[in-house]
Amino acid sequence: MTIIEKIIAKHSKFDTVKPGDIVDIEIDARAARDFGGPNVVKHIEKNNLTIDDVSKTLFTFDTNPTGSDQKYAMNQQIIRIFARKHGIKVFDINNGIGTHTLISEGYSYPGSTSLTTDSHANILGAIGSFGQGMGDKDIAAAFHSGRVWFKVPKSAKINLIGKRPANVTAKDIVLNLLNRFGANSLLSYSVEIYGEEVDKFTLDERITISSMGTEMGTIIILFTPNQEVMDYCEAATGRKLEAMKADTDAEYVEEFDVDLSGFVPMVSLPGKPHDAVNILEAKKTKIDSAFVGSCTNGRMEDLRAVANVLKGKTIAPGVVLKIVPTTNAIWDQCLDEGLIKIFKDAGAMVSNAGCAGCAAGQVGQNGPGEITISSGNRNFPGKQGKGSVYLASPATVAASAVAGYITTYDDIPDEPAVFTMEEHEEKLKKAEEAEKHLEQKKSIIEGRVWYIKEDNIDTDMIFHNRYLTITDINEMGQYTFDNLEGYEDFAKKAKPGDIVVTQKNFGSGSSRQQAVDCFKSLGVQAILAESFGAIYERNAINAAFPIMAYDSMEELELKDGDKIRVNFETGEITNLENNKSISGEAFSEVQLEIFQNGGLF
């Protein structure tokens, strides 16, 4: 078996598992963040669930570590009260990013399983551990039973061959891999990385690479732990551990040999993490701001690299550099080693530990027209603000902040670039234009309801296979539901802005994308259902077509033709005819991000 198969088998009732098997697995660490955590509490209290094992259960406050937003402050307090009641550990706003806490506090370790409401939980692959981000219902179930069901993924193997160039950092390595594999060629794979140089990767470097598995579309990127990783995890857990290794005859669906010696320093161009290019293509691009942090690059080695660049230098005029350590322990170590003074003397701003630029309202956001170079993992439009974001290594970010334009740490000019008045005026003009185009999609909608009280409406009922040759979305709408008894004339009667409400297992059947796009073609705003077919759900989310699950419509007293309001961020569904409301399943962080981005790409 591969690493992922051995970990899943170890935590299930089976001796062996294979790709495609769906098994119940024991979860060693069950965590929820201040994002998603309140909904976990809601599900537990609403369903009168007990907590399986408080020693394996925890909350982490990392998406709003300053507690500066009223909604976050309220949600954090809801969690604190619930945690006190049940004796659950809370790593509060002074602690840092939850996935890193799982490692440093010994909750996650080689061969273990962990869940949290963080889409970058697969960062735990850095220590040879299985980590997954899941929705609040899954996490609530794990809090209660200690188990979740999971589909064993296919495995791929990447062999990094050759010597690592001296100027190539871990961030450069993962950006080179993104350039090679893109965002979807390894979609839903568990990926293992091997090589002579890979064995030398430090824990911090492995974390950087594993954390961007999400941006490559993988389930997880796994490393076989070396001695440094084992020593770290044994110290964190206080016990002897065994590394989980793939069998010598493990079967991989794909295997790739990639020449590490050919890797170069890279940046991701604004808009897509996988749009990674040789830094020479972006060199001399003037910047307004720089950000060092995130779960990808806020570790001790990252911050030392930044300090090495900044020591004795100052940030370019007009440029703002924001630095956010990953955890409070790393913040303290920066203080002990004198790094904080180097940062401050250079003119940088240093915040307390947390997710920072990746979370709305946090340190690291930018404004319309602003050019930012960031060590984060995502640069989708609107993710870090309304400006444009380049992704790069911490050393490149620091060097660029000193230079005033994108550059490498070994090519910092004696005099920084300074913006002219003409450039300022040009940027203001571009910012105004960008503001017009970057208005985010509405997270609250209202519309007339089609209440279809049926279960198991499959993709052939939605968009029959006789129309599969149609590829123009503008032609798809006319065939919507023409194979669903009683709704054959739906396309003629539906109006832009309508909302479809149905029951269990909507969209079961084939993987055809037309079953999603036909509703977009008609201007249908959203579909609400008790549950969705798994493939349909992914297709809809990735196409930025709003879908939302709910438990029961009974309290809403809904009738066909009623007008309802749906809030994607809170999950509130309101019947505007009688003003009654119920709670649906709010968009996850990833779903909301893709929706605001206008689609996966």
pLDDT digits (tens, 9 = 90+) for 404-445: 999 999 999 999 988 776 766 676 676 666 555 544 568 899
pLDDT digits (tens, 9 = 90+) for 312-370: 999 999 999 999 999 999 999 999 999 999 999 999 999 999 998 887 668 888 888 89
- Return the CATH superfamily for domain 3-262: Aconitase, domain 3 (3.30.499.10)
pLDDT digits (tens, 9 = 90+) for 28-46: 999 999 888 988 999 999 9
Say whether pTM exceeds 0.75. yes
Position 52 confidence tier, pLDDT thresholds 50, 70, 90: very high
Pick from 535, 496, 508, 492: nearest CA to 454 = 508
Asked if 571 contacts 136 with a C-beta cutoff of 8 angstroms, the reply is no
Find all residues with CB under 8 Å of 430, minimum gap 6, and list them. Answer: 369
Pick from 545, 537, 541: nearest CA to 589 = 541
Report the percentage of the chain scoring pLDDT > 90.
74
Any idea which residue has 């570590």 for tokens? 65
DSSP-derived secondary structure letter, 286: B
Using the predicted structure, report yes or no on whether residue 470 has a pLDDT greater than 90.
no
Rg (CA), the chain: 24
Phi and psi at 527, nearest 5°, equal -125, 130
Q: Which two tokens stand for residue 597?
A: 């981005």
Domain spans of the chain?
3-262, 266-436, 444-597
Asked if 72 contacts 63 with a C-beta cutoff of 8 angstroms, the reply is yes
Instruction: Report CA 259 to chain centroid distance, whole Å.
Output: 28
What average pLDDT does the structure give for the chain?
92
Please indicate whether the domains covering 266-436 and 444-597 agree at the CATH topology level: no
| Whole-angstrom distance, CA of residue 270 vs CA of residue 303 | 24
| Whole-angstrom distance, CA of residue 545 vs CA of residue 562 | 21
pLDDT digits (tens, 9 = 90+) for 211-258: 999 888 899 999 999 999 999 999 999 999 999 999 999 999 999 999
Asked if 129 contacts 111 with a C-beta cutoff of 8 angstroms, the reply is yes
Fold for the domain defined by 444-597: Aconitase; domain 4 (3.20.19)
CATH of domain 266-436: 3.30.499.10
Q: What's the confidence (pLDDT) of residue 72?
A: 83
